[in-house]
Amino acid sequence: MAVLKNLGSLLYNSNADNSAALYPNPHDGRFTVRFEKALKNADIVITDVNGKKVNRFKANGAIVHADISRSPAGTYFLIITDGKTKTTLKVIKQY
């Protein structure tokens, strides 16, 4: 079971498979996600609140940088699929 904690500008997701910290949140379109365990060819999808894909890419390693600065301000979801583990984080773009 995932536990989400909002620690100011940091969103921390603790699940049994791989904890993640997203910062800053809210942001200007550029943000970082730090994972407890390194990702291995993970599929990263960023969607808006309507489910429209804004960005999609593959990621490796414990730190992932993302950029949605060309998208309008609003709420987005970062969906990380790494093997059988799927994690969803809510991200807020302010400007």
DSSP calls for 29-81: SEEEEEEEEEEEEEEEEEEETT--EEEEEEEEEEEEEEE-TTSPSEEEEEEEE
Break the chain into its structural domains and give their ranges.
3-93
Dist CA 74 CA 64 (whole Å): 21
- 84: confidence class by pLDDT, cuts 50, 70, 90: confident
* pLDDT (average), residues 2-14: 47
Band (pLDDT 50/70/90 cuts) for residue 71 is very high
Residue 44 has pLDDT above 80, yes or no: yes
Write out pLDDT tens, residues 10-29.
444 555 567 889 999 999 99
DSSP 17: S
Which fold would CATH assign to domain 3-93? Answer: Immunoglobulin-like (2.60.40)
